[in-house]
Chains A and B, each alone.
Chain A
Amino acid sequence: MANEVRHYVDVEIGDEITPLVKDIGLARMMAYGAATWDFIRLHYDADYARELGFEAPFVDGQMMGGFLTQHVQDWAGPEAFLRKLAFRNRVMAFPGDSLTCRGVVTDVSATDEGGMVECDLWVENQRGEKVVDPANALLRFPLRSGG
């Protein structure tokens, strides 16, 4: 959960990142455009999107970065710091889609900077298609309580 501190010693290679489900609706897509000052009509105006040849307004690909950040930060707890996040968009997401963020720990190493944890991540839709793949994150964990 987002509120529980997780330490480096509590993380092992192969650990699953708790899955996160995100249901996509047009209101949330519009809210994302407003929150990022990105008023491009492709992401909320159905007539405009169809005029340009798209079946419907599609989710801004960057929104996946916000979902994946929530996914890993909820699992890692409030004292872990997200150092890196990379992702490739594969399949467009549309209103009505249900997306699931998934991931697994692939490497751990204690460094001068802290306890570094690498994860492979991906996002699937309700048809099992990979919407985002591959993706990966690097997080810095506290090495131990109070440290």
Chain B
Amino acid sequence: MASLLERLKETVGQKIVIQAPDEMGRSSLRQYALAIGDFNPLYSDREFAQTHGLREVMAPPTLICDTWQYVDSDMDDRGDLVGRGPIRELEGLRAGNEYEFFQPIHPDDVISAHWTVKDVYEKTGRTGSLVFQVIETTFYNQADQLLARNTETMFYRPEA
């Protein structure tokens, strides 16, 4: 059986595109804001948002990078959405994220997420070796406008 490093190395360059079945939706924005405990009226009050130059309430910026709502599938017993594709393994832990936002995201945006594995590498430190995987996801709306880009680095402990 291939090692974790070998398996992950095979993902480099792989791309998948996931198309949301529906709009982001106003209640998704409120639910995320509630989870964070961030009651900024930009996310919930249309009049306030319009007073400050927006056409409509905007999504909390990181929602689009964090949500799996665009995956239309069932889940397994671990809670993993089975339709999110084979690129990332569930056992990965998060080393960090880099987000870039190009314009406010609104409830009527229908998202497509373009995933690409950019790099896989091994690093050996004091606690042993870790395998890192760098994934870039770019988000567009139904008008093919670039909304956001998320470069995330996950790490894995190789099997003993």
User: CA separation between A63 and B60, bound complex, in Å?
Assistant: 12
Asked if residues A36 and B60 are in contact (CB atoms below 8 Å), the reply is: no
User: Assuming the A-B contacts A37-B81, A79-B52, are A31 and B34 also in contact, with contact meaning beta carbons closer than 8 angstroms in the complex?
Assistant: yes
Which residue of A61, A63, A78, A85 contacts B42 across the interface (Cβ within 8 Å)? Answer: A78
Interface pick from A7-15, A38-46, A102-110, A122-130: A38-46
User: CA separation between A83 and B48, bound complex, in Å?
Assistant: 21
Asked if residues B36 and A63 are in contact (CB atoms below 8 Å), the reply is: yes
User: CA separation between A84 and B101, bound complex, in Å?
Assistant: 6
Chain B residues whose CB sits within 8 angstroms of the CB of A40 once the complex forms:
78-80, 90
Asked if residues A84 and B99 are in contact (CB atoms below 8 Å), the reply is: yes
Asked whether any CB of chain A lies closer than 8 Å to the CB of B104, the reply is yes
Asked whether any CB of chain B lies closer than 8 Å to the CB of A81, the reply is yes
Asked if residues B61 and A89 are in contact (CB atoms below 8 Å), the reply is: no
0 or 1 for each of B30-72: is its CB under 8 Å from A? (1 = yes): 0110111111111000001100110000001111011111010
How many CB-defined contacts (below 8 Å) exist between A and B? 129
Query: When A and B form their complex, which 3 residue pairs have the shortest distance between CB atoms, in order from nearest?
Result: A61-B94, A39-B79, A88-B96
Residue tally, chain B, CB below 8 Å to A: 42
Q: List 22 A-B contacts (CB under 8 A).
A: A36-B66, A36-B68, A40-B90, A41-B78, A41-B79, A61-B93, A61-B94, A62-B94, A63-B35, A63-B66, A66-B32, A66-B36, A67-B36, A69-B61, A69-B62, A70-B36, A78-B40, A84-B101, A85-B98, A85-B101, A86-B99, A88-B95
* Residue positions of B touching A, CB distance < 8 A: 28, 31-32, 34-42, 48-49, 52-53, 60-63, 65-69, 71, 75, 78-81, 90, 93-101, 104
